[in-house]
Amino acid sequence: MTQRPNTPVLDTPVFNKLALIGIGLIGSSIARVTRARNLAGHIAISSRRAETLQRAEELQLGDSYSQEVADAVKDADCVIVCVPVGASEETAKAIAPHLKPGAIVSDVGSVKRSVIDQMQPHLPSNVHFIPAHPVAGTEKSGPDAGFETLFDNRWCILTPLPGTDADALDRLSRFWTACGANMETMEPDHHDLVLAITSHLPHLIAYNIVGTANDLETVTESEVMKYSAGGFRDFTRLAASDPTMWRDVCLHNKDALLEMLARFSEDLSALQRAIRWSKGDELFDLFTHTRGIRSAIIDAGQEVDLPDFGRQAGLNSGQQKSDSGKASE
């Protein structure tokens, strides 16, 4: 399946003023696509640290910059919170008194139930809170890591709360569609379960295997590096992901992740047994089945069929424009 072309530049922006709270990989990608495709008349950026804000300004990601969230959200008709999920509550408390009545408040967090529980109690009833999760990312962080096409042909999952205003939902969906995303709606707990197996568990496995290799006494570190093309290096990309983000994902999707880890451990024990008792047919059947799953992912346009996953040597992966450079979170 070929990659869908970028969505066009809009004649009329979706929002008059978009406020981005947090300007790392995801926030800066939203800023870039918003600017490139005319999705908002004004982009206001807020970040916690002066250095991050200064870098965002050097990169000309927005129209105004402030460490004070109050300045950014003032008069914004859409506010997107792009901070680690563990900072959702303090961010909601900080923005709440300054929100324009009727504004859309959304987020991009990789976990949905916890973010809702953290933010909803603090937001005024006259704004539209619509949680969202663009399922796209790389292992890079910070304002330099973002790129315009990050969301092209990736899924953006909305987890609207009961009674969500249909017009606000439609407007936020139009925004994400114009960012290039395909839209899906899910119940928050189901989202957390689906992402636990498709994203959170794979990252944990990667962190674990890279940690194990590092701890081995019988194989030297230089041997691990030298022969990493045997498979190990593919785990290292995931294991290089932002520690703050993934600590927060683990702590805030605890139940679903523990359930998936238990299933994973059981299946790993079965695999161990099959190897111990030389059950070649069992191994062969499993490996044949899993190979089919990869083909299905390629057919769904969520990966490219290249031996190096489409990585181009010498390119900073945060800047990659190739499809697979956007290795989903």
Nearer to ligand NAP, 155 or 279 (CB): 155
Residues 6+ apart with CB under 8 A from 299: 1
Are 73 and 99 within 8 A, CB to CB?
yes
CB of 49 vs ligand NAP, minimal distance in Å: 3
CB of 52 vs ligand NAP, minimal distance in Å: 3
Binding site for ligand NAP (CB under 6 A): 22-27, 47-49, 52, 82-85, 87, 91, 108-110, 134, 137, 141-142, 242, 245, 329
Burial class (CB in 10 A: 0-12, 13-18, 19+), 250: middle
Count CB-CB contacts under 10 A for residue 25: 27
Nearer to ligand NAP, 31 or 220 (CB): 31
* Cα–Cα–Cα angle for 11, 17, 23, rounded to 5 degrees: 110
Residues 6+ apart with CB under 8 A from 191: 112, 113, 133, 157, 159
| Cα(151)–Cα(6) distance, integer angstroms | 9
CB of 48 vs ligand NAP, minimal distance in Å: 4
Nearer to ligand NAP, 13 or 27 (CB): 27
CB of 199 vs ligand NAP, minimal distance in Å: 8
Nearer to ligand NAP, 49 or 289 (CB): 49
CB of 194 vs ligand NAP, minimal distance in Å: 14
| Cα(139)–Cα(233) distance, integer angstroms | 13
Nearer to ligand NAP, 24 or 160 (CB): 24
